[in-house]
């Protein structure tokens, strides 16, 4: 089994409930075990005029292959009403594979580590809650990424 970290976000249709439903769906994935979930955090949208996001990070152990997991995550998003109209637009649910074991993946449909991981406090701080001392497959440490990404615009919602 490989350790996988999933970034979760929602800013429509009761975002915290969307994340709770996503966690329940992750628990049902075949060959997969949900290990932990960070606190929920509120963050500003990347684009002006959108509602704030609720974000979290989940840790999984899984025997699914990366594209199998991606397909499963997209099915969960679709099942919770995700519509893909606007890049970085409002959404009921966004599930991103942040890290997949020690793998470096560069496929047309999937890039791991997630290509914006280092610049997104709403991913790094929840990840740090459940992955203390983490070293990324490319050699960077989570501590170094946190030091370069201030805790600005975030509000911790749950312990």
Active-site amino acid positions: 82, 91, 94, 96
CB count within 10 Å of CB 85 equals 7
DSSP 118: G
Q: Which residues pair with 24 in a beta bridge?
A: none
Q: Which are the contacts of 158, defined by CB distance < 8 A and separation ≥ 6?
A: 39, 40
Q: Are strands 111-112 and 154-156 parallel, antiparallel or unpaired?
A: unpaired
């Amino acid at each position: 089994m490989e350790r996988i970290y999933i970034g979760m976000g929602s800013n429509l249709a009761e975002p915290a409930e969307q994340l709770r439903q996503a966690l329940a769906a992750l628990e049902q994935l075949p060959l997969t075990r949900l290990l932990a979930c960070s606190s929920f955090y509120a963050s500003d949208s990347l684009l002006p005029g959108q509602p704030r996001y609720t974000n979290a990070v989940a840790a999984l152990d899984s025997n699914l292959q990366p594209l199998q997991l991606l397909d499963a995550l997209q099915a969960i998003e679709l099942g919770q009403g995700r519509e893909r109209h606007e890049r970085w637009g409002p959404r009921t649910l966004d599930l991103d594979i942040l890290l997949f074991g020690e793998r470096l993946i560069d496929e047309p449909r999937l890039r791991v580590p997630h290509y914006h991981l280092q610049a997104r406090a709403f991913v790094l701080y929840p990840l740090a809650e459940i992955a203390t001392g983490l070293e990324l497959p490319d050699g960077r440490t989570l501590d170094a990424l946190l030091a370069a990404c201030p805790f600005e615009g975030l509000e911790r919602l749950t312990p």
